[in-house]
């Protein structure tokens, strides 16, 4: 695996990415990648700082004759989203990513690839070691835990960076330059209860599973109308409770706040006399879901499997309140940006629903490029769960990135893109959250843009990066650095 992708061009970028694939770096477990980057900076004799949050900053002096250029910070995040297929055995804290070439793409065996943002940080490492690239004063910023809450960017101190321009490498479509992004906020609702012990009376237990969905990035892919496993599961559970006296014992759907849930499952009990009819209903609902989503989801499955009877059930009032709240919870695109065709303004992702002893937790990520609409949708979702009797709290509120149509670096980037790649770039607004908004709040005078290679299906095991786009991304990035204007 290592040799195969390491021979791709540009060699320096793929060599570093090959090494990174062998370093476990799921969000929250970044000690090894931090150590690798710090050791790399020291090996080059460059000033290397690891701050108290876990961000790493490496400074590279200007090449001779370029000292008067505006100082630049190139930025990417170190963590990756740990998603795998249900039949894949993989421990993201220990096992390497098995990356391989699949035609025109690089992908991974049954897991997320980590090209988000691994290609970006590999490019930054390649720039730091380059002896031929001409550049002004450079800083390389590797941020901590972007995927779970942008904690590195949020913890960035206002006296760390010296740069005037920030180049973010976390976009996922080549040929696009981003000048703005959405902000976000996390909403958590919890139902607390005492487990209800019961004596089975001619009942059976069934595990109901929704699987085979595409999932994806809850910002980048939210407009595609992909099915949310939690919504499909609870839609069926409401029917099962109403028509078949089902009782809910356990539920687990989704596992990441910023990934559209691909799988969800629940254990229920029903009277044994209903078994045959109930299984027919499962098949009918699967056919209904395939009819509704067949043009989007090509492997959707709804299944029921008989399992051992549970010791406890979720109390019926809590069960009913939970099901009604999840069914009523708004999910997906809430509003497009008025006057800007095709760009999502506000959305929500019903990311996680899971039960444990005496507790059910629901996690939703709300995004918007409008602060007022973000708060309005948050209030609406909060109201649904409060009416259902849940405790609700919000956290991780981060700002969006306001567009600057007069950005000097945007002007240079457009000119460089046209000259180097012979194509006009599209200047766009991203619905997904980027660290630019948070960093810009701490460093309000930074001139910022974001760009990257073409990555498909980020945050899912189908993630892949287009090989040819990495080469073009590299040429554009290095030429842009060489053409940064003077102070």
- Strand order from edge to edge, sheet including 56-60: 47-50, 56-60, 138-143, 72-77, 165-168, 447-450, 176-181, 426-430
Nearest Cα to Cα of residue 452 among 136, 50, 118: 118
pLDDT for position 432: 84
Element (H, E) at 140: strand 138-143
Residue 321 a catalytic site member: no
- Of 107-121, 319-333, 393-407, where does mean pLDDT reach its minimum? 393-407
Decide if pLDDT at 3 tops 90.
no
**What is the mean pLDDT of the segment spanning 104-109?**
97
C-alpha to C-alpha distance for 169 and 484, rounded to whole angstroms:
16
Distances in Å between the Cα of 63 and the Cα atoms of 163, 231, 327 are: 16, 55, 59
Decide if pLDDT at 160 tops 80.
yes
> Which of the four pLDDT bands, split at 50, 70 and 90, describes residue 1?
very low
The β-bridge relationship of strands 138-143 and 72-77 is parallel
Q: Percent of the chain at pLDDT above 70?
A: 99
C-alpha to C-alpha distance for 133 and 200, rounded to whole angstroms:
72
pLDDT single digits (tens) 202-220: 999 999 999 999 999 999 8
> Which of the four pLDDT bands, split at 50, 70 and 90, describes residue 79?
very high
**What is the mean pLDDT of the segment spanning 102-125?**
97
CATH class of 185-398: alpha beta
pLDDT for position 470: 98
The listed CATH number (3.30.1360.120, 3.10.450.350, 3.30.360.10, 3.40.630.10) that belongs to domain 2-182+400-482: 3.40.630.10
Decide if pLDDT at 15 tops 50.
yes
Question: Which one of 116, 139, 145, 146 is the catalytic residue?
Answer: 146
Decide if pLDDT at 250 tops 80.
yes
CB 144 within 8 A of CB 53: yes
Distance of CA 469 to the CA centre of its chain: 21
* Side-chain half-sphere CA neighbours of 94 within 13 A: 3
Nearest Cα to Cα of residue 484 among 221, 145, 159, 136: 136
Question: Which one of 79, 186, 321, 463 is the catalytic residue?
Answer: 79
For the chain, domain boundaries: 2-182+400-482, 185-398
Distance of CA 271 to the CA centre of its chain: 41
pLDDT single digits (tens) 251-306: 999 988 989 999 999 999 999 999 999 999 999 999 999 999 999 999 999 999 99
Cα distance from N-terminal residue to C-terminal residue, the chain: 44
C-alpha to C-alpha distance for 335 and 94, rounded to whole angstroms:
41
Q: What is the DSSP letter of 440?
A: H
pLDDT for position 304: 98
pLDDT for position 139: 98
**What is the mean pLDDT of the segment spanning 12-33?**
97
Distances in Å between the Cα of 393 and the Cα atoms of 90, 306, 361 are: 33, 36, 11
Full DSSP string of 141-187: EEES-HHHH-HHHHT--TTS---SEEEE----STTEEEEEE-EEEEE
> Which of the four pLDDT bands, split at 50, 70 and 90, describes residue 6?
confident
What is the CB neighbour count within 10 angstroms for residue 355?
23
Token code pair at residue 346: 């506000």
The reply to whether 185-398 shares the fold of 2-182+400-482 is no
pLDDT for position 187: 98
Contacts of 384 (CB under 8 A, 6+ apart): 325, 328, 329, 330
CB 185 within 8 A of CB 437: no
Full DSSP string of 360-409: EEEEEEEEESSHHHHHHHHHHHHHHHHHTT-EEEEEEEE--B---TT-HH
pLDDT for position 460: 87
Decide if pLDDT at 2 tops 70.
no
Respond yes or no on whether the N-terminal peptide bond of residue 117 is cis (omega within 30° of 0): yes
Decide if pLDDT at 201 tops 90.
no
pLDDT for position 353: 98
Q: Percent of the chain at pLDDT above 90?
A: 89
Q: What is the pTM of this model?
A: 0.79
Distances in Å between the Cα of 397 and the Cα atoms of 75, 185, 197, 365 are: 21, 4, 39, 10
**What is the mean pLDDT of the segment spanning 330-349?**
92
Residue 79 a catalytic site member: yes
Q: 212: alpha, beta or left, given left = phi > 0 and alpha = psi -120 to 50?
A: left
C-alpha to C-alpha distance for 219 and 343, rounded to whole angstroms:
11
The average confidence (pLDDT) of the chain is 95
Distance of CA 456 to the CA centre of its chain: 12
Residue matched to tokens 């709240």: 325
């Amino acid at each position: 695996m290592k040799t195969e992708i390491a021979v791709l061009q540009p060699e320096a970028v793929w060599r570093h990415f090959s090494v990174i694939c062998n370093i476990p770096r799921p969000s929250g477990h970044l000690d090894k990648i931090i150590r690798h980057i710090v050791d790399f900076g020291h090996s080059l004799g460059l000033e290397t700082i690891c701050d108290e949050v876990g961000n790493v900053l490496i400074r590279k002096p200007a090449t001779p004759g370029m000292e008067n250029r505006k100082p630049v910070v190139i930025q990417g995040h170190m963590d990756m989203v740990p998603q795998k297929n249900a039949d894949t055995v993989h421990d993201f804290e220990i096992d390497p990513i098995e990356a391989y070439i699949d035609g025109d793409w690089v992908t991974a065996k049954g897991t997320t690839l980590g090209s988000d943002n691994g290609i970006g940080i590999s490019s930054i490492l390649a720039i730091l070691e380059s002896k031929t690239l001409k550049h002004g004063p450079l800083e390389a910023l590797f941020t901590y835990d972007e995927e779970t809450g942008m904690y590195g960017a949020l913890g960035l101190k206002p006296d760390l960076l010296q740069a005037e321009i920030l180049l973010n490498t976390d976009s996922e479509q080549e040929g696009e330059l981003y000048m703005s992004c959405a902000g976000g906020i996390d909403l958590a609702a919890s139902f607390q209860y005492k487990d209800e012990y019961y004596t089975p009376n001619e009942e059976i237990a069934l595990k109901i599973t929704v699987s085979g969905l595409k999932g994806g990035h809850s910002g980048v892919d939210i407009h595609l109308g992909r099915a949310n496993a939690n919504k499909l599961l609870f839609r069926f559970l409401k029917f099962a409770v109403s028509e078949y006296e089902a009782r809910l014992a356990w539920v687990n759907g989704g596992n990441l706040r910023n990934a559209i849930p691909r799988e969800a499952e629940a254990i229920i009990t029903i009277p044994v006399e209903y078994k045959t009819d109930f299984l027919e209903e499962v098949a009918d609902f699967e056919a209904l879901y395939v009819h509704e989503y067949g043009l989007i989801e090509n492997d959707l499955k709804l299944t029921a499997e008989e399992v051992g009877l549970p010791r406890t059930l979720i109390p019926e009032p809590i069960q009913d309140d939970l099901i009604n709240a999840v069914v009523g919870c708004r999910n997906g695109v809430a509003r497009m940006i008025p006057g800007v065709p095709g760009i999502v303004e506000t959305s929500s992702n019903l990311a996680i629903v899971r039960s444990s002893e005496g507790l059910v937790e629901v996690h939703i990520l709300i995004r918007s490029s409008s602060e007022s609409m973000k708060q309005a949708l948050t209030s609406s979702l909060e109201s649904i769960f409060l009416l259902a009797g849940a405790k609700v709290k919000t956290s991780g509120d981060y700002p969006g990135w306001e567009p600057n149509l007069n950005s000097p670096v945007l002007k240079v980037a457009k000119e460089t893109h046209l000259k180097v790649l012979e194509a006009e770039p599209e200047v766009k607004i991203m619905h997904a959250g980027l660290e630019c908004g948070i960093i810009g709040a701490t460093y309000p005078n930074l001139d910022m843009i974001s760009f990257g290679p073409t990555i498909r299906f980020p945050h899912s095991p189908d993630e892949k990066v287009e090989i040819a786009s990495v080469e073009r991304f590299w040429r554009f990035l290095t030429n842009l650095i060489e053409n940064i204007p003077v102070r």
